[in-house]
Structure 1
Amino acid sequence: MLKHNMDWLRRSMALLLSSFFIILSTGVNAYDATSYTENTEHHNIPLRLTASSITKIDLKPWLYIHNSNDVTEIANLKLQNNNQSQWRKLTSNDLRKIGAKNTWLSFSLYNPNDQLSRIIALDNPLMDSIKLFHLVNNELLNIEHMGDTLPFDQRPLQSNLFLYPFDIKPGELHTFYFKIDNRGSLNFPLVLWSKNDFSHAIETQSLANGFQIGILIAIGVFSLFIALASGSFSYSYYSGYVICLTVIVASIHGIAFQYLWPNWPSLQQLAVPVLIPLALAFALMFTEKVMQLKYHSKPMLLLGRYLAVYCILLSLIVSFIDFKFSLYLLSFSVIFISFILIIFSLIQVFKRTKNARLYAIGRIGLFVGSLFSGLMYLGYLNWAVFPQTPVMIGLTFEVVIMAAVLAMRYNDERKAKLQMQQKALEQAVRLQQNRDEALRAEAEANERLEQMVAERTLELEVTLRELNEANQKLTQQNTIDSLTGVKNRSEFDRRLTAEGRISRRQQTSLALLMLDIDKFKAINDEHGHLAGDHSIKVIATTISDYLKRPTDLVSRFGGEEFAIILPNTDSEGAMTLAEHVRLAISKLSINWEGSPIPLFVSIGVSAAVVETEEHPTLLLEQADKALYQAKRGGRNQVCQFSPE
């Protein structure tokens, strides 16, 4: 039983390996819809061609292969044509071999009666180098060099297939030799067409290829836009996977070489080997996201990531290793990773993971398509379709199914987000209600607090007002003379310093007046001290009445002396004001207990622009000296300080 299972496994691996060899090393065989039987006839028997012949002829039954691969030129080949053992019929085993160096294929056409135009079509766009020698009646007519190692514009006809048109006249024998160098298999699907039927067939094939590639491009671009708009890694990986598959399919059909990089043959050589492991890496990362392996299986998650790293490294190094080895390595990688992805999906199906069943259907669809292509290629199935058709159908089916999986995943995520948003909204409403309640409680507390603060503030304001009034009273008591109500000596000293600084800064004149009551001792002795105090108050009131400016200041300097500060006043103005004060006082008539008290004063004046900090004190001394000068001059007069 174990041996039977191992044989079945080896046979399945061989079938899958063969199907992926088709993708990696050959194009789509668009015209080989019939099989052929082995023919042991000689190489020089030509295909008889007439106007009544069918317009599509599969040339496989007429192809001969040269056994000696060391022949490099047509001249040497013609010398060996006499040895018929060097040529034999081309078989299916020859087509499965990997690598062809200096391999020669040949067939002949004979036209007995009609003038004909035909096209030889080789539907393998991945052939590296084909050198075609066209002989007419054993004479060399033309040489064409084709292959994807040459720029696209060097082909005889600008087509993704290798085409060679020719005309054949009645009675001519046309012999064609193909010298082939190819790193892949010797898959040589050669068909002889009439021009009209070929145009119709190529249009049908182009429509089918364009439809398939168009589906892949549409899905890939749409997924890319969804990834950019939503920031979803699932759509990003799927978009990368589909875009890689699109370029691979376009390269296999030769369409990428025709339209994307026609002047870069080296890129055509590298496109498929580099993009296949890159597509596998995207498929692994996409599987990780869409199957949510992070939450369901850590071993599968780690295995998928390790395989993705392996695929990325393989994509980087595959162009630097031997092509035959890389072909086997890529084929093994594709088969192994495909099995791993199918196993992942089946495990998730058994675990009832959401979307796992649809994902498994897509993977199994691609596997079945690859299996049928392998069976057809090995000859186990003989269907009237192209060998690559099942794998291409499976590939398109898998891409569409994965798009459906992503759509369902996106819908599930959208519903989950809506539910989360609904829960978040309900939670936000509850939070808002709690916040409103907290705000109401805070407002009530703030209102009570504000009421308490207002009460305390009112009490504080009352207290501050009382303190301010008391402070003002205290200040007045500290600056006001208690007897006369004018400023006292300390306030005079403070104001004298301040006005001196203003005079110095503004360069304005400052005037000082020193006033003394004449014969004040006689008043006290004759009428008493109360009469003297009354006289002092009357004189203080009279002086205050003559000081009109707010900046003017009168203060009681001593017992019967007064000092007056006149800011911004020169000596002339100060003398005028002093004289007015003196006259006003001299005209006062005071009666004290029926006795008249005459009042006279002497005034000393000093005025100057203050120059230094000590200058105000000097002005005061000068005014005092002028006062004593007025006293000595006879009293009841005004005297201005003069240095003389």
Structure 2
Amino acid sequence: MSLLRILSWFILLLSAGAHANNIELTPDVGTTALVPLAEVYVDEHDTLTLNQITTSATFVPGEQETLSLGFTKARVWLRFRLHNPLPTPQYRILYMNYFLLDEVVLFSEQDGEFTPEYSGRRYLAEHNRSPIPTRFFHFEITVPAAATQTYYLALKSEDGISTAATLMQREQFQRLMITDTIGITLFSGLILANLCFALFMLIKLRERELLYYFGFLLSHHVFTITMLEGVPASLFNMENLFWNRTGIIFMVNVAVVMSVLFYRNFLKFKERYPRFYSQSQVLLVIALISTVQCLLLPHFIGSAVSTILCMIVGTGIMFSCVQCALAGDRSAMLFLLSWSSGITGATIFCLKLWDILPSNIFTDNAWQIGATLEAILFSFTIADRVTTERRMRLQTQTELVKRERTLRLTQEKLLAAETAAKEELERQVEERTRDITRILGELEIQNLKLKELSINDGLTRVRNRRFFNDAYPELWRAAQRRGKWISIIMLDIDHFKSINDTYGHLTGDQCLVAVAECLRNHVSRPNDLICRYGGEEFVMVLFDTDAEAATRLAESLRQALANCILETESGPLQLTASLGIAACIPTPALSATDLLANSDHALYQSKADGRNRVTLAQSDLRAAQSGSVSSNR
């Protein structure tokens, strides 16, 4: 493979131009595959410095969508130029959806010098400090107005390089993260369901093969796959390079050991197939050797050896299962089907890492797809095995009953009566169980309704003061923890007491309902909060919203209420409201009560200035944040 890779790079070198074209950055340019538009250089011995790379290295066009080199000790360099023709700075995110990269370094050109930014498994501390949380490695790039900048991206990995690099806008990156989260959640849900099933069967049946199967699922489907996806590193800040690199290979080997123990116990080799039991002993020794060597040898060698040994063990398992299936063993047939899906997915993924298969959406996710299908099929196989054994036990019991009937007619009648009584008891127990389940379900529904009633205002159907007292401090702490703005808008219906006195309390209730509906129409983000604070007062908490945005929203609310004509039994009634706003970025020196008090003071200032207006708090709390406002704008 090394000879083929060198030959391919030589051909590209002969056909390469002097430089890659500039990549235009305009708002209408969406997701951009970087590798085909960049220039590539492979430092086979990883000895060149950045200065040598920029002055003497001969780059060739990338051409392919994915940078796929297989297992290599070389450092790969990408050079690309971003051109911003617009009079405003352009922001992009450089994203690589491949976790098995040890070092990812982006060199940005500034004033004739290159500044490095570090990411990759060796620099997970720097990666996890990024303001944009993601499992894979990325960089935020800002190109000044009407400027062209040159960038160098250096990649190195001892697990094989097979990754795409994509430039995208922030909105596109956010959508990608949402899609990625949905995919991981669905995969985790399927694996968790199978893991719970395996645990339930282990507790229920207490059979050794189920213990090995549970260990296989835990080590392979839970630890290996999630580590391969970078979940522990990003979710739990697991930044140790040994664990994120060698740990993956180690867990794969543990999974192979568990699979050998599982399949030979599940197919009962020791009792039914002694010859295959001896073969399984050999496979178990190979798997244990592979497990130990990956911890002792250098990672580049250990991972390659583990790949070969694990494929030998996987092939040996398939061979034994094929022989048993040909002998008519139903359990072996189902096991072979389940195992084949998993081993096929892992093999395709490894062949991609070895640069034998191309990198695409299928080969990139082949391991995960195979593992998911494998877990589902194994669950079906175990369930079928349990059902078959139960059916065989029932058949045996039926034969014994028939024999006893020929010997003892009296005992047969007694047994029939006892069986009937048992069936009746089971039927009654089943009925009681259904009744209890139904009653518990109804109780849960009622509890949910009671909870909803306890946090909602009964008239306006918005959240009540009790919910506000619980939720607002949480939003404050979240904003303080993430360094986000938080704004409060206090709203009071003008002359509400006069409305009650003149038109009656029913009309006053109509006013409250109309105002609440208007607030719901304008404040609809998931993290925002609308509460009836008391009487004719409402409060809105806007997360990640600065004072300027909160003022615009408050003014639109005021205008909407001023344009609202409420039809009452006494004729049309025009509503107006006074609003007070306070906003800040929480700091340890401030408290949530300070912000609420400032918005309340602003509300009373609106009333004092003649009502039907919006007032932004001008207290020391806002002044303390003036520097942050300028920077955010």
TM superposition score category, shorter chain reference: 0.5 to 0.7
RCO higher in structure (CA 8 A, sep ≥6): 1
**After the TM superposition, which residues 387-536 of structure 1 pair with which residues of structure 2 at under 5 Å, given as runs?**
387-418=363-394
**Residues 375 and 161 from structure 1, CA distance in 2 versus in 1: closer, same or farther, beyond 3 angstroms?**
closer
Q: Is the 8 A contact 2:346 2:367 kept in 1?
A: yes
2:166 to 191, 201, 206: 191
Supply the distance in 2 between the matched residues of 1:66 and 1:302 (Cα, whole angstroms): 47
Please state how far the C-alpha of 1:73 moved relative to its aligned partner.
4.3
Displacement of 1:199 after TM fit?
1.2
Q: Decide whether the 8 Å contact of 1:43 with 1:64 is kept in 2.
A: no
3-state SS in 2 of match to 1:163? strand
Q: Which amino acid aligns with 1:133?
A: F
- Give yes or no for contact 2:20–2:37 (8 Å, CA) kept in 1: no
Equivalents in 1 of 2:203, 2:71: separation in Å?
A: 42
Q: Equivalent of 2:192, from 208, 212, 217? A: 217
Amino acid at match of 2:376: V
Separation (CA, whole Å) in 2 of partners of 1:38 and 1:396: 44
| Inter-partner Cα distance in structure 1 for 2:209 and 2:137 | 40
Measured after TM superposition, the shift of residue 68 of structure 1 is 6.9
- Look up the match of 2:179: 204
Q: Which residue of 1 aligns with 2:71?
A: 98
Partner of 1:571: none
AA aligned to 1:356 is A
Q: CA deviation at 1:223?
A: 0.7
1:340 to partner: Cα distance: 1.6
Residues 576-614 of structure 1 show CA distances to partners (whole Å, capped at 9, x for unaligned) of xxxxxxxxxxxxxxxxxxxxxxxxxxxxxxxxxxxxxxx
- Superposed structure 1 runs of 4+ greater than 6 Å apart: 36-39, 91-94, 374-384, 421-431
CA distance in 2 between partners of 1:44 and 1:352 (Å): 62
Matched, 1:109 2:85: no
Contact kept? 1:221, 1:239, Cα under 8 Å: no
Partner of 1:134: 108
2:60 is paired with a residue whose SS is strand
2:301 to 325, 334, 349: 325
Q: Residues 241 and 279 of structure 1 are in contact (CA less than 8 Å); yes or no, is this contact kept in structure 2?
A: yes
**Residues 374-432 of structure 1: CA deviation (Å, up to 9, x unaligned):** 7877899889734223343222112211111111111223334455666788999999x
Decide which of 25, 46, 54 is 1:81's aligned counterpart.
Answer: 54
Change (3 A) 1:377 1:312: closer
1:129-160 deviations in whole A, cap 9, x for unaligned?
Answer: 222221146443x4322121234464433321
CA positional deviation for 1:362: 2.0
1:521-577 CA-to-partner distances (Å, cap 9, x unmatched) read: xxxxxxxxxxxxxxxxxxxxxxxxxxxxxxxxxxxxxxxxxxxxxxxxxxxxxxxxx
Query: CA 1:191/1:99 → structure 2, altered by over 3 Å: closer, same or farther?
Result: same
1:420-450 alpha-carbon deviations (Å, 9 max, x no partner): 666788999999x99xxxxxxxxxxxxxxxx
Aligned partner of residue 142 in structure 2, secondary structure? strand
In structure 2, what is the equivalent of residue 601 of structure 1?
Answer: none
- The verdict on how the C-alpha distance between 1:186 and 1:394 changes in structure 2, with shifts beyond 3 A counting, is closer
**Count of residue pairs the alignment pairs up:** 396
Residues 80-112 of structure 1: CA deviation (Å, up to 9, x unaligned)? 5343x5333447797324233554332221112
**How does 1:613-628 map onto structure 2 within 5 Å?**
none
SS in 2 for 1:183: coil
Q: Contact conserved, 1:103 with 1:181, CA < 8 A, in 2?
A: yes
2: distance between equivalents of 1:68 and 1:394?
33
CA distance in 2, matches of 1:199, 1:295: 56
1:144 aligned to which of 117, 127, 130: 117
Displacement of 1:366 = 3.3
| Structure-1 separation of matches of 2:259 and 2:46 | 44
Aligned to 1:257, which of 233, 240, 246?
Answer: 233
C-alpha change, 1:420 and 1:138, in structure 2 (3 Å) is farther
List gaps (5 residues or longer) in structure 2: 5-11, 412-633
Kindly, what percent of the aligned residue pairs are identical?
Answer: 15
More displaced, 105-114 or 150-159?
150-159
Cα gap change, 1:114 to 1:315, in 2 (>3 Å): farther
Q: 1:349 to 1:102 in 2, by over 3 A?
A: closer
Cα contact 2:38–2:78 (8 A) shared by 1:
no
Task: Give the corresponding residue for 1:354.
Answer: 330
**8 Å contact kept, 1:101–1:181:** yes
Q: Which residue of 2 aligns with 1:533?
A: none
Contact in 1 for aligned 2:44/2:73 (Cα 8 Å): no
Cα 1:415/1:220, change in 2 over 3 Å: same
Q: What's the offset of the Cα at 1:248?
A: 0.8
How many Å separate the matches in 1 of 2:67 and 2:173? 27
Deviations 1:18-44 (A, max 9, x none): 9xxxxxxxxxxxxxxxxx999712246
Structure 1 stretches of 5 or more lacking a match?
Answer: 1-13, 19-35, 435-644
- The answer to whether the 8 A contact 1:72-1:102 is kept is no
CA distance in 1, matches of 2:124, 2:45: 26
Q: 1:260 to 1:415 in 2, by over 3 A?
A: farther
Partner of 1:310: 286
Indicate how the Cα distance of structure 1 residues 58 and 154 shifts in structure 2: closer, same or farther if over 3 A, else same: closer
| Corresponding letter in the other structure for 1:160 | R
RMSD, aligned α-carbons: 3.6
**Deviation per residue, 1:54-91 (Å, 9 max, x gap):** 334343441422547555643x23xx5343x5333447
Question: Structure 2 vs 1, CA of residues 96 and 103 (structure 1 numbering), >3 Å: closer, same or farther?
Answer: closer
Q: 1:341 is matched by which residue type in structure 2?
A: I
**Structure 1 Cα separation of the partners of residues 187 and 295 of structure 2:** 28
Per the normalisation by structure 1, the TM-score is: 0.55
Deviation at 1:278, TM superposition (A): 1.1
SS at match of 2:117: strand
Instruction: Kindly provide the amino acid, as one letter, of the partner of residue 223 in structure 2.
Output: V
Cα distance between partner residues in 2 of 1:382 and 1:206 = 25
> Is 1:59–1:192's contact at 8 Å kept on the other side of the alignment?
no
